[in-house]
Structure 1
Amino acid sequence: MASIVEIKRGFGVRWKGVVRRAGVPTQVAYFDVRDDAEEWVRVVDNDARERQNEIKRQQALDALRERSRNEHRTFGDVLHRYLIEIVPHKRGADVEATRIKAFLKTPISKILVESLTQAHFAAWRDARLRSVGGSTVNRDLTILSHVIRVARAEWDVQLSRNPLHNFRKPKSNPPRERRLSPDEEVALLNACAETRNRHVVPVIVLALETAMRMGEIVHLDWSRIDLERQSAYLSETKTGVPRGVPLSTRAVEILVRLGVRNRGRVFRGLTENALRHAYARAVERAGIKNLTFHDLRHEATSRIVEKGLTMLEVATITGHKDLRMLQRYTHLRTQDLAKKLG
């Protein structure tokens, strides 16, 4: 639990920040300005929560290793171990952890891992397709396949083959073409400004100005930002290939307003899950329908194309490894050419 206490003295007021979490030493600090106390409490409480979660993970891992001495393990046991040992070290760990926890609630997690067959995963796939699209199911299958590969290679799980090898996957959803109207952008930013999380508005602006993915924005580091040259270097990307991103004047202005530092995360304490929930609430509050966070990347890319950059230049900014992925934007270039022809 975190709290801020006002301490009145004869010559003024001070603010006492206190952070308490089970299993973690209590931390206390004093400040002359309440805003400083609030920022300290937020950062320290996030650190304490991470330490608390690490202690819980280690305790769970110790218990799981004890259980794993049993010859027969369920797929849920393997998923749980993967959640504890592997997921924390991956990009987008909080998102993948949510997916793993969802798998643990399905019937397939109760099956002995040595008994898993393609039929089990086919039943899971068909049930999952009743509530989500093919693209989501395919992302889930990629995770599940990696879980099995790790279990067979590193944990001595006895499976003669990976049941997801040559497994029939559903068709992916067609690319979304959702554009953000000027009125929707205003409504979205106004709704974001009403959230308790002060990071949401600058995140939305950066998404629209740079076409960065959610995870890339969340992990932005001040040490990799050069405001004079208007550029940011992304060391952690979805493709695993670092890249530089040019910063527009509007993007630079929003970063300056955050308060420039020499190093450290630009959005300290912000996770992808927290941002995703805050964004969803803001979209609902704004009365906007069918607008995902990833649609902002599509909108930003569309705007970049409309400014007349070549597809190679666009790919350099957005990080698309395959230019064919940008073919969906060629209709915008065709419209521009038609206007020039008159």
Structure 2
Amino acid sequence: MATIVKTEAGTWKALVRKTGWPTNTKTFRTKRDAEDWARRTEDEMVRGVYIQRSGSERMTLEMALKRYLSEISPTKKPTTQRAEATKAQQLISHLGKYSMAALSAEIIAGYRDTRLASITNRGKPTSNNTVRLELALLSHLFTVAIQEWGLGLSFNPVLNIRKPSPGEGRDRRLSAEEERRLLTAVNNHSNPMLGWIVRIALETGMRSSEITSLRRHQVDMKKRVVRLSDTKNDSARTVPLSKWATETFQAALNNPVRPIDCDLVFFGEPGKNGKRSPYAFTKTWGLLKTKLGMPDLRFHDLRHEFSQHCKCFAKHSYYPIRVEPDRIGLMRCA
């Protein structure tokens, strides 16, 4: 039987003791609420379905996300860690004060609708994909809390709501004139590594992080391939090199200013610890594309050019031909 006692503060405390189960207590404003909870708890214990919910009731979403970022995120790639930290801030600002037990599908659906109607710092509506990724983080948080943290949650409420459609996606393409001006600008930059990186992206479709993190042993000049072990999808892959990409890599590997002890293909200045990090060109890239009148161009968009070249190759059975002798401009497929 449960014990119901009145506290000095005027509230009612319910105490449930049952063999084989931990002692459980909870405080309520009214005696009837305390009796109802005690009766329901004892019934669940008898049926063997009782779940200790106090952990999820005490832990707010903000507390849970901070724990997730400190325990789960560090097992992922640095780029993923930074992305999750940004998504967590949005979730905390809107839902952070709710307890994990109080977060229902209705509340999360309201968050979804609010985010979709919000305007970003750039003056544009929040994209469907951004909200989908925030909900994905929240869903995985619930999964971890249920399976590993023992918070007493019985289900994942995110699974019960509609997710925003993926949307049309991004398809920014370079015109022939834009590509010509871009290649001219990067080739004339004071640091030749910028031009090499852009040309390799156009020729191989590799991501910027994959290019800048390359070590010399990953580039096989004899077989004309680059072997990637650390990719976005966590699966190793081999990237074949066209003639132009091979020549570009050869120039990068023969960089006369490379320190003897540096194995990076594209290297930056030494840090405070004396070690060199990959060449960081994000700021330079941003200034350059703005100067060229292409502020909406992203480095990742260069992958679209590569994929289009591959489609042309599959259709016509030949590689896209770069114009000689200055290699600026693209002989596009019809």
Normalised by the length of structure 1, the TM-score is 0.60
Map 1:94-173 → 2, pairs under 5 A: 94-103=81-90, 106-130=93-117, 131-173=125-167
Report the 3-state secondary structure (helix = DSSP H, G, I; strand = E; otherwise coil) of the residue aligned with 1:173: coil
Map 1:1-342 → 2, pairs under 5 A: 72-91=58-77, 92-103=79-90, 106-130=93-117, 131-189=125-183, 200-259=194-253, 264-268=263-267, 269-270=277-278, 278-308=284-314
**Paired position in structure 2 for 1:317:** none
CA positional deviation for 1:76 = 1.6
Residues in 1 aligned to 2:249 and 2:150: alpha-carbon distance in whole angstroms? 49
Residues in 1 aligned to 2:191 and 2:97: alpha-carbon distance in whole angstroms? 39
CA positional deviation for 1:170 = 1.1
Q: Quick check: which one's helix share is greater?
A: 1
Between 1:221-230 and 1:282-291, the stretch displaced more is 282-291
Q: Is the 8 A contact 1:152 1:159 kept in 2?
A: yes
Between 1:243-252 and 1:288-297, the stretch displaced more is 288-297
1:257 to 1:133, Cα distance in 2 relative to 1, 3 A: same
Residues in 2 aligned to 1:111 and 1:275: alpha-carbon distance in whole angstroms? 41
Q: Is the 8 A contact 1:79 1:100 kept in 2?
A: no
Report the 3-state secondary structure (helix = DSSP H, G, I; strand = E; otherwise coil) of the residue aligned with 1:115: coil
Residues in 2 aligned to 1:220 and 1:190: alpha-carbon distance in whole angstroms? 24
Residues in 1 aligned to 2:105 and 2:281: alpha-carbon distance in whole angstroms? 36
CA positional deviation for 1:280 = 3.8
Q: Name structure 1 gaps, 5 residues minimum.
A: 1-68, 315-334
CA positional deviation for 1:190 = 5.3
Q: Is the 8 A contact 1:231 1:244 kept in 2?
A: yes
| Count of aligned residue pairs for this structure pair | 246
Partner deviation per Cα, 1:150-177 (whole Å, 9 max, x = no partner): 2322222332211111420111111433
Residues in 2 aligned to 1:173 and 1:194: alpha-carbon distance in whole angstroms? 38
CA positional deviation for 1:309 = 6.0
Q: Name structure 2 gaps, 5 residues minimum.
A: 1-54, 118-124, 255-259, 268-276, 320-331
CA positional deviation for 1:195 = 7.9
Between 1:174-183 and 1:160-169, the stretch displaced more is 174-183
Q: Is the 8 A contact 1:191 1:285 kept in 2?
A: no
Residues in 2 aligned to 1:310 and 1:115: alpha-carbon distance in whole angstroms? 59
Q: Is the 8 A contact 2:115 2:126 kept in 1?
A: yes
Q: Is the 8 A contact 2:286 2:295 kept in 1?
A: no
Q: Is the 8 A contact 1:223 1:262 kept in 2?
A: no
1:100 to 1:256, Cα distance in 2 relative to 1, 3 A: same
Residues in 1 aligned to 2:178 and 2:194: alpha-carbon distance in whole angstroms? 16
Report the 3-state secondary structure (helix = DSSP H, G, I; strand = E; otherwise coil) of the residue aligned with 1:114: coil
Q: Is the 8 A contact 2:253 2:265 kept in 1?
A: no
CA positional deviation for 1:79 = 1.5
Residues in 2 aligned to 1:154 and 1:308: alpha-carbon distance in whole angstroms? 48
Report the 3-state secondary structure (helix = DSSP H, G, I; strand = E; otherwise coil) of the residue aligned with 2:96: helix
Q: Is the 8 A contact 1:232 1:246 kept in 2?
A: yes
Letter in 2 for 1:185: E
Residues in 2 aligned to 1:310 and 1:117: alpha-carbon distance in whole angstroms? 55
Letter in 2 for 1:75: L
Residues in 1 aligned to 2:194 and 2:115: alpha-carbon distance in whole angstroms? 31
**Paired position in structure 2 for 1:329:** none
CA positional deviation for 1:278 = 5.0
1:240 to 1:72, Cα distance in 2 relative to 1, 3 A: same
